[in-house]
Every structure is written in C-alpha cells, then in structure tokens.
Amino acid sequence: MTVPQIEIVHRDGMAVPSVAGRAVAEVVHACHDKMIDDGLAALAIPGLTRDTLEPVLAYCAELACEADDATCPGCKRRGEAQGLLTLDDFIRAHKEIVIGDGAVRLVGLGTETIVAPALGALEKTWSGENYWFWARRVMRKLRHGIRRAHIRGEAMAGQGESPAVILMEPQLPDNIGMVARACANFGLDSLRLVAPRDGWPNEKARIAASGANYIIDDAVAHPTLDEATADLTYVVATTARQRDLRKPVLTPEQVAVEMRVRIARGERCGILFGRERNGLETSEVVMADAIVMIPVNSRFASLNLAQSVLILGYEWMRSHRGASLGRVTTYEKPLAGGLYLNDDQPATREAMAGLFAHLESELDRLGFFNPAEKRPTIVDNLRTCCCAWAPPIRKSEHFVAL
C-alpha cells in the first residue's frame, strides 16, 4: 500500500498542504476530536494508518507549512498570513457575516458571505484553531498513549449504593472528563450521559478525566432522559433558575442526607445536571422529584459543569459517617477537624509555666521590655497569645525551665 505524501494544492487562490486531497488540518482535527483509530477510520485515506500518521502530524506540529508558504482552512496561521489580526479585520474581509437567524448582520468590504451561530461564538472562533498545538497533542498520544491510561481505580461502593450523575446532552467531552474526575474524587461511581453531542466513548473525555478511568469506562450513553432514569426511584434536578413548580427545593446537604436514607432502604437515586449552554429545560425539571439549588451570585450564577458536580459530590462524601479529611492510605489514618496532635499531647500548665519563665528571662536579658513600666502589660499579652494555642509536647518529652 502506498504511503500517503503531503502535497501542496491550490484552492481559492491559497496554497493548502494536503494528504490525498484532504487538508492536513482535517487529518489533525479528526484524530484530535476522536480516538485516533476512530479518526483514521472516519478519514478513510488509503495508506494512512497509525504507522504512517506521524509524518503528517509532524508536518503540522513543526510548522513545516511556513517553508511551503501554505496554510489550511480554519487554521489561525491562515488568518495571520492574510493580515487578519483583529476581529475588525476579519469582518472587513467579508461581504457579510450573518449572525444566528439573520436578525444581526455584519457588513464588510469582501466578497464572501458566512454564517456564525452567535456573536459570542464568532468572537471566540474568528481567528481559527491552533492546529499545530493539536498535532503535538495527537503525536504525544500516538507515541506514549493517553496520560494515566494505565490507572484503573475502583468504585467506593457497590452498584446503586451511590447516586448516579446524569448529564443532560453534554456538549464538550472535556467537561465530561472533568465531571468523571469530580465523581471519582467524591465516591459518585455511576455516570450516565443523555445524548452527548460528540458521541461516546470519546478520547478527549478520557484525557480530561486525568486518571478517573473507571468512571469513564463504566459511563453509559442513553438516547433520552427517560431511558437514563428508567431504573431510578428518586431523581433531583440541579438549577440556578427559580421555577414555578410545586416541588421540594433542597440544599446539597439536604439532598445528600435524603439520598443516604433512600439508598439505605434499597432505592436507587440520581442527580440530573443540565447542558453547559443553558442548563435544564423546565420540561426536564418536571420529571425530577425535587430541585437542588445553591446560593450564588445572582449577577453571575452559571457554574462550570464539573464544578456543579463537585459541590454535590462534596456534600455526598461529607454525609458519610466514616468520612475522613484528606486521603486515607496505609500510612495515613482517618483525620477529623481540629488540632492534629498525632502522638503528641497538649502541654500541661506546669510545662507552659516553665516555657513562659524561660521566654521572659531571655527577653529580659536581651532588653526587650523597654520601657520597664510596660513589662507587666507585655507579659500579660504574651501569655494570653500563647495560651490561646498551647503547643503540644511529645509524650516522651518533659519541658524543663532553664
């Protein structure tokens, strides 16, 4: 089979680096957006396999296109080469940019008309993608595999013993991965996805999970919310907006306690989270048994999806009777709040008196108490501060005043 070569072709008056008629950026995008094998399968370029992919990636990653004076459509370098350094330049270079349904139109001096879904989206994407950066990431995965892919991890509890986290139509696989990491942090062992936009499974989600692989591996995608919640008996919906619905409104702490009780008597529970773009629709909240809300800044109430899961996960873990602060390992015991003494014990009054006597004698010797008439006040303040936090001493030690 012939190994595909990079060729320079001309499209619309621009030189484009291509592989079998497909722009190099298209190859990079396909392998970055999906698992590498899935991306190659979607491209279906004869001869382009894992074994022959690296030279294509290296061409982009090393910016070899600069020497060929060629750029790919959608690449940030193309805009730079055309002198489009600002959004104003970009608008001016087009005949018209239609925003959304066409109610807003931006008129320029060029000959091409394009469509953007929203003004905010145009502002973020007009300059193009850093495909060379994407190529470097794909090369790293190609050579070394996914970071922390060897980590498996394991669930804290049995099936159904923790509430399922349900994501309604998640848009970004990166967010799914970060949600999986938050789930693993706080013992939420079941992740369900309702119609994820970019399909499932997704390699980008695994990368963002940063080692929470057992959550990713066990996550299940469902086509509808009804199917995702079919086996659950109690579901709460997260929202920042007040709804005119006759449903219980609970705090995360109350939700955690309620679910502990229900799971203990054999019920299965779930927490429903909305889309990154606009949260949950009222018709979806209606399907829940209760609503969970947190106090937020009313002028900026939108949370990142993983942050929302983290808050609920924290309360779920905190409601566990055996919860420890920090991790517990072979060398680290469960820890509760307060002064951590380990093998130490609080100092006795006798030991404290010896400490003060020694400290005050040294301060006298160094001439610290000046003027002398202030000495009683300074000593009182010194003892007050020290007694507010009595230093611990080892059980095997005894303080002796010098």
Q: How confident is the model at residue 168 (pLDDT cuts 50, 70, 90)?
A: very high
- If asked whether residues 191 and 298 sit together in one domain, one would say yes
- If asked whether residues 302 and 348 sit together in one domain, one would say no
- If asked whether residues 296 and 233 sit together in one domain, one would say yes
Q: What is the pLDDT of residue 329?
A: 56
- If asked whether residues 279 and 386 sit together in one domain, one would say no
- If asked whether residues 171 and 235 sit together in one domain, one would say yes
64 part of a folded domain:
yes
pLDDT at 395 over 70: no
155 part of a folded domain:
no
105 part of a folded domain:
yes
Per-residue model confidence as pLDDT tens digits over 106-126: 999 999 899 988 888 888 888
Last residue of a domain, one of 114, 145, 176: 145
Q: How confident is the model at residue 6 (pLDDT cuts 50, 70, 90)?
A: very high
232 part of a folded domain:
yes
The stretch 259-282 carries a mean pLDDT of: 94
Per-residue model confidence as pLDDT tens digits over 172-184: 999 999 999 999 9
pTM score of the predicted model: 0.60
- If asked whether residues 24 and 138 sit together in one domain, one would say yes
Q: How confident is the model at residue 289 (pLDDT cuts 50, 70, 90)?
A: very high
Which of 73-87, 255-269, 308-322, 352-366 has maximum average pLDDT? Answer: 255-269
* d(C-alpha 230, C-alpha 228), whole Å: 6
Q: Identify the residue with better confidence: 144 or 289.
A: 289
- If asked whether residues 256 and 279 sit together in one domain, one would say yes
The stretch 291-301 carries a mean pLDDT of: 89
Give the strand pairing for 96-99 and 22-23. Answer: unpaired
pLDDT at 262 over 90: yes
- If asked whether residues 348 and 263 sit together in one domain, one would say no
Question: What percent of the chain has pLDDT above 70?
Answer: 88
Which of 21-35, 134-148, 248-262, 345-359 has maximum average pLDDT? Answer: 248-262
Least reliable range by pLDDT among 124-128, 213-217, 324-328, 355-359: 324-328
Residues composing the chain = 402
Q: What is the pLDDT of residue 342?
A: 65
Q: What is the pLDDT of residue 401?
A: 40
337 part of a folded domain:
no
Closest of 22, 113, 99, 86 to residue 60, by C-alpha: 22
pLDDT at 386 over 80: no
Per-residue model confidence as pLDDT tens digits over 197-239: 989 988 889 888 988 989 999 999 999 999 999 999 999 999 9
Least reliable range by pLDDT among 101-105, 337-341, 372-376: 337-341
The stretch 323-334 carries a mean pLDDT of: 56
CATH number assigned to the domain comprising residue 260: 3.40.1280.10
Which domain, by its residues, includes 69? 1-80+127-145
Instruction: Please state, rounded to an integer, the average pLDDT across all residues of the chain.
Output: 87
- If asked whether residues 180 and 258 sit together in one domain, one would say yes
The stretch 380-391 carries a mean pLDDT of: 70
- If asked whether residues 249 and 385 sit together in one domain, one would say no
The stretch 299-328 carries a mean pLDDT of: 82
Q: Per the structure, how many domains does the chain have? A: 4
201 part of a folded domain:
yes
- If asked whether residues 1 and 43 sit together in one domain, one would say yes
333 part of a folded domain:
no
Closest of 192, 194, 175, 120 to residue 304, by C-alpha: 175
Question: What percent of the chain has pLDDT above 90?
Answer: 55
Q: What is the pLDDT of residue 326?
A: 58
pLDDT at 397 over 60: no
- If asked whether residues 119 and 132 sit together in one domain, one would say no
299 part of a folded domain:
yes
